[in-house]
Amino acid sequence: MCKEKYRNIAEQNERRGNRYMKKTLFTFLAAAFSLSLAAQEKFGLSHGPYLQEVTTDKATVVFQTSGKAFSWVEVKPHGAPEEECVRYYASDHGLKMAYNTFNSIRLKKLEPAKAYDYRILSKEMRSFQPYKVVFGDSIATPWHTFSTIDPEGKGASIFITSDMHGDAAKLDTLLHWADYKTCHAFFYAGDMMNYMDRPELPFTSFIDISVKRFASSIPFEVVRGNHETRGNLAREFSRYFPKEDGKIYGAYRLGDIMVVMLDSGEDKADSHPVYAGLTDFDAYRTEQAAWLEELVQTKEYKTARYRIVISHFPMVMPSDNQKEGVWKGWEDAIRKFLPVLNRAGVDLLVSGHTHRYAYYEAGTEGNNFPVLIQGAYSAARLDVKDGKIQVKVIDTAGQVLKEAVLDTDKR
């Protein structure tokens, strides 16, 4: 009887001990999870800042916060005291943008050829009621420096690549081999992503690595590829790369260099079943062709010493792609854009799309200017100076695939 009694007491104690250990373990795990969650949720920037559409007197700062917030940008002449800061907000219809995470703030009334310092300030918004706003943590980023365009600038070193298809490590390798630290401008010629179906993809595919290397101080420009027209978020593409006119295609002067960026659209016909009747690129390319006709007649274009065009589709079609009725969209782009460009004194067109490096001398495929397809595993570096464009194409192993010198003064 006594043995049974003691056995029952021992079993009870063991059960109490097990319950205590389980409770202690649960408490420990809950505390650890809370600490981990708090660390993960610490308010700050989750992406950026990166610069877009820097001109002689304007620039756009783009960034994303880790939680909903009220954010602004402070700007001052480079090296000036903080007392000289000017605050810029994103506002619309009398309301400053707030309780958001994605921010695009336009800096205006800047001076040409001048260096500026900027930083982002942001206040977390934990509650936003009609008559009560509760703020949380505040942040101020380090200062970054950028320069506005010098309208009297002579030449530049330009980095161009395309078709990374989400491979940020490959992009980083190409930036290294092209000696990106000595480049003045960066262009991505399309298909930097596979599709647009997740909000984080533009960041993880190429924006974040660009920020890490240069994009907080030097802007990049993106020419849309056909893969970026695909996916349920494709209509959000331009939000990440804002322009004042709201368009994806465009042109601007980089000193004495005119850069034209064409949005060539999808490579197949609008009627192709994979598009489910949701594309209208034939009309869109017609719109661009009319804009291009007007552009090449402007004083800004005609007075440029160098004229470079960037398009995802080449304005020639390699023979192994010439399959009857397959690439209606690509053919439409060539039919509408090439005649205008052939009359416009273009010095070089750089493109991607085929995933294979190729170079077409002027006059080889109905093109009055050289066409460079820089490939999916390589990048082009253009050193523009003294009336010449020095072209170098480098692959991911650091091998030089092409070197050429184009004499633009003999155009």
What's the average model confidence in pLDDT over 327-354? 97
Would the pLDDT of 411 be above 90?
no
For all residues of the chain together, what is the average pLDDT? 92
Number of residues in the chain = 411
Q: Alpha-carbon distance 374 to 348, whole Å?
A: 12
Max Cα–Cα distance, the chain, nearest Å: 113
Model pLDDT, residue 148: 98
402, amino acid identity: K
Would the pLDDT of 131 be above 60?
yes
Would the pLDDT of 176 be above 50?
yes
- pLDDT tens column, 30-64: 444 444 444 457 999 999 999 999 999 999 999 99
The candidate with the shortest Cα–Cα distance to 386, out of 404, 369, 408, is: 408
- pLDDT tens column, 232-276: 999 999 999 999 999 999 999 999 999 999 999 999 999 999 999
The domains of the chain, with CATH numbers, are 45-147 (2.60.40.10), 156-410 (3.60.21.10)
Model pLDDT, residue 74: 98
Q: Alpha-carbon distance 304 to 253, whole Å?
A: 8
The residue with greater pLDDT, 146 or 31, is 146
pTM of the model: 0.89
- pLDDT tens column, 184-221: 999 999 999 999 999 999 999 999 999 999 999 999 99
358-360 and 306-311: which strand pairing?
Answer: unpaired
Is residue 50 a contact partner of residue 207, using CB atoms and an 8 Å limit?
Answer: yes
Model pLDDT, residue 321: 77
Q: What one-character DSSP code corresponds to residue 273?
A: G
- pLDDT tens column, 61-105: 999 999 999 999 999 999 999 999 999 999 999 999 999 999 999
Other Cβ atoms closer than 10 A to 190: 29
Is residue 361 a contact partner of residue 397, using CB atoms and an 8 Å limit?
Answer: no
Region label for 311, one of left (φ > 0), alpha (ψ between -120 and 50) or beta (otherwise): beta
Model pLDDT, residue 318: 85
